[in-house]
Amino acid sequence: MTTVPPRPLPRPPALDRVHDSASIRVQHRRLLLGLLWSQAEGSRAELARSTGLSRSTVSAIVSELLDTGLVHETRAGASTGGRRPIILAFRDDAAQLIGVDLGASHVSVARSDLRLRIAGQRFARHDVRDDPWGALALVERLVRELLEEVGGVNSLIGIGVAAPSPIDPRRPGRLSHSVVPRWRGIDLVEVLGAAFGRPVFVDNDANAGALAELWWGAGRSGGDLAFVKVATGVGAGLVLGGELFRGTAGIAGEIGHLTVDPQGPECLCGLRGCLVTFVGRAALIETVRKRRDAFRSSPLHVDPITLEGIVRAALDGDPLGQEIIEEAGRILGVGVASLLNVLNPGRVVLSGELVEAGELLLSPLRQTVRSRALAESIAHVDIDRSTLGPKGVVMGAATLVLQAALAEPALIPQMRRAQE
Ligand SMILES: [Zn+2]
């Protein structure tokens, strides 16, 4: 079988307890579809061999899959003595995924195929934190625009949303009151679900970034990984044992609220001296405001000061910008060192607007980590920028949908129609 791995399926589908013939058929369908997706192609005989299913079972399910259009026959393979086998391949373009990256101050929406190749993208600045209804209306408009390019909602499996808030997996449509108080009472799974008639999956933005690394980026080679996003806030998504680790109420990875200074400034969360009060967007902008009088020729004598502006000034050699990025790197290093001491991941992947500063940020960060994390954990960690770049979070949001569809193929419109 030709192997074209984005990555093998995260986990073999769990066998349900009920073993009536209908549920066994559902499980077999899931197994074969998942295998064809992860291997990209194969013959009926190869599918039977790798799954242990009988040739007749495989043939029956394959003809169902051929009817749905999710799989097609491509060519004749090499003969192993008898007739040349027909090679089946997964059709990546048979259905659509939508990913939504709800930032604190932007909305980014992407439409992709089932291999996460992005076919259309929209971006808009918006005050997502303080104007939830406006943000949801904007998301709806942008998603409709993207779907019009493929004739509407018909081939859409679902919508994945990365939110700038911890998400409790038990109530994924609700954002955290303490982080985004204006979203109180709004269930975005209900709102977007009602607008498009499709399932909606929500996770925290750093978790979405971590999921994207696991499926498409630095995490493909396996091992435990921490994805750290540094922009308006600071958060980490954790991949432990091949799965996202969310914690009991979805708070795992909130490193922005690690205490850096017990006597430090009060944080939005109500605690004191959190990491984000030193390296979050608002903190860095405030630091520029306080210090810029001492740097007469700095380009940061503009209002409003932006994080993007600070990063650009630093990259252009401005001493004030560089001082601020280096300090942020050192303080962030304290947080990353704590993460290493607690979880001992093999990889720390950084992303977000501040990380655009590259080595100006990473070099002091690594230096601090070396002086503050236990030697054994430093010896086995690779700390670097995400290779997926800014689109990682939106890719992770779309991957939430793909992951759900491979685990439950009835979510795919063609499968659902075939079974009706
Ligand atoms: Zn805090």
Percent above pLDDT 70 for the chain: 95
pLDDT higher than threshold 50 for residue 200: yes
pLDDT for the residue 15: 54
pLDDT for the residue 19: 67
Q: Tell me the CA–centroid distance for residue 232 and ligand 1, in Å.
A: 13
Alpha-carbon dihedral 138, 143, 145, 150, rounded to 10 degrees: 180
Q: Name the phi and psi angles at 349, rounded to 5.
A: -110, 125
Q: Tell me the CA–centroid distance for residue 263 and ligand 1, in Å.
A: 13
Confidence of residue 75 (pLDDT cuts 50, 70, 90): confident
Q: Tell me the CA–centroid distance for residue 183 and ligand 1, in Å.
A: 18
pLDDT for the residue 14: 52
Q: Tell me the CA–centroid distance for residue 226 and ligand 1, in Å.
A: 19
Q: Tell me the CA–centroid distance for residue 181 and ligand 1, in Å.
A: 14
pLDDT higher than threshold 80 for residue 348: yes
Burial class (CB in 10 A: 0-12, 13-18, 19+), 376: exposed
Burial class (CB in 10 A: 0-12, 13-18, 19+), 241: exposed
pLDDT higher than threshold 60 for residue 1: no
Q: Tell me the CA–centroid distance for residue 177 and ligand 1, in Å.
A: 13
Q: Please give the span between the terminal C-alpha atoms of the chain, in angstroms, as a whole number.
A: 32
Which tokens in the block code for residue 319?
Answer: 């001493």
pLDDT higher than threshold 50 for residue 420: yes
pLDDT for the residue 177: 86
Least-confidence region, from 57-66, 73-82, 347-356, 396-405: 73-82
Least-confidence region, from 19-28, 262-271, 301-310: 19-28
Q: Where are the domains of the chain?
A: 21-90, 95-209+393-419, 220-387
Q: Tell me the CA–centroid distance for residue 6 and ligand 1, in Å.
A: 37
Q: Tell me the CA–centroid distance for residue 283 and ligand 1, in Å.
A: 12
pLDDT for the residue 18: 58
pLDDT for the residue 156: 97
Q: Tell me the CA–centroid distance for residue 287 and ligand 1, in Å.
A: 18
pLDDT higher than threshold 70 for residue 208: yes
How far is Cα of residue 261 from the mean position of the Cα atoms in its chain?
30
pLDDT higher than threshold 70 for residue 12: no
Q: Tell me the CA–centroid distance for residue 198 and ligand 1, in Å.
A: 35
Which tokens in the block code for residue 387?
Answer: 């290779």
Q: Tell me the CA–centroid distance for residue 233 and ligand 1, in Å.
A: 10
Q: Tell me the CA–centroid distance for residue 178 and ligand 1, in Å.
A: 10
293-312 pLDDT per residue, tens: 999 999 999 999 999 999 99
Which tokens in the block code for residue 216?
Answer: 């498409």
pTM of the model: 0.92
Confidence of residue 418 (pLDDT cuts 50, 70, 90): confident
Q: Tell me the CA–centroid distance for residue 268 and ligand 1, in Å.
A: 6
Pick the residue with more confidence: 249 or 364? 364
Q: Tell me the CA–centroid distance for residue 374 and ligand 1, in Å.
A: 25
Top-tier CATH class for 220-387: alpha beta
Q: Which of 174, 166, 177, 175 is nearest to 204 (CA)?
A: 166
Least-confidence region, from 21-25, 143-147, 296-300: 21-25
Q: Tell me the CA–centroid distance for residue 132 and ligand 1, in Å.
A: 22
Q: Which of 151, 170, 208 is nearest to 398 (CA)?
A: 208
Q: Tell me the CA–centroid distance for residue 302 and ligand 1, in Å.
A: 28
Alpha-carbon dihedral 132, 134, 140, 146, rounded to 10 degrees: -120
158-167 pLDDT per residue, tens: 999 999 999 9
Confidence of residue 3 (pLDDT cuts 50, 70, 90): very low
Confidence of residue 2 (pLDDT cuts 50, 70, 90): very low
pLDDT for the residue 115: 96
119-131 pLDDT per residue, tens: 999 999 999 999 9
pLDDT higher than threshold 70 for residue 8: no
User: How many Cβ atoms from other residues are within 10 Å of residue 94's Cβ?
Assistant: 18
One-letter amino acid at 27 equals Q
Q: Tell me the CA–centroid distance for residue 171 and ligand 1, in Å.
A: 22
User: How much of the chain is helix, strand and coil, in % rounded to 5?
Assistant: 45, 20, 35
179-198 pLDDT per residue, tens: 889 999 999 999 999 999 99
Q: Determine the average pLDDT of the residues in 70-74.
A: 94
Q: Tell me the CA–centroid distance for residue 271 and ligand 1, in Å.
A: 5
Domain 21-90 falls in which CATH fold?
Arc Repressor Mutant, subunit A (1.10.10)
Q: Tell me the CA–centroid distance for residue 90 and ligand 1, in Å.
A: 46
**Do the domains spanning 21-90 and 220-387 agree at the CATH topology level?**
no
Q: From 1.10.10.10, 3.30.420.40, 3.30.750.24, 3.30.360.10, which CATH number describes the 95-209+393-419 domain?
A: 3.30.420.40
Which residues make Cβ contacts (< 8 Å) with residue 112, sequence separation at least 6? 96, 97, 99, 118, 119, 395, 398
Q: Tell me the CA–centroid distance for residue 260 and ligand 1, in Å.
A: 10
Q: Tell me the CA–centroid distance for residue 238 and ligand 1, in Å.
A: 19
Q: Determine the average pLDDT of the residues in 238-267.
A: 94
Q: Tell me the CA–centroid distance for residue 265 and ligand 1, in Å.
A: 10
Q: Tell me the CA–centroid distance for residue 275 and ligand 1, in Å.
A: 7
Q: Tell me the CA–centroid distance for residue 163 and ligand 1, in Å.
A: 17
Q: What is the DSSP letter of 150?
A: T
CA distance readout (Å), 274 to 263, 365, 370: 10, 17, 21
Q: Tell me the CA–centroid distance for residue 57 and ligand 1, in Å.
A: 55
Confidence of residue 329 (pLDDT cuts 50, 70, 90): very high
Cis before 304 (ω within 30): yes
Containing H/E element for 229? strand 225-230
Q: Tell me the CA–centroid distance for residue 312 and ligand 1, in Å.
A: 27
Confidence of residue 366 (pLDDT cuts 50, 70, 90): very high
pLDDT for the residue 416: 85
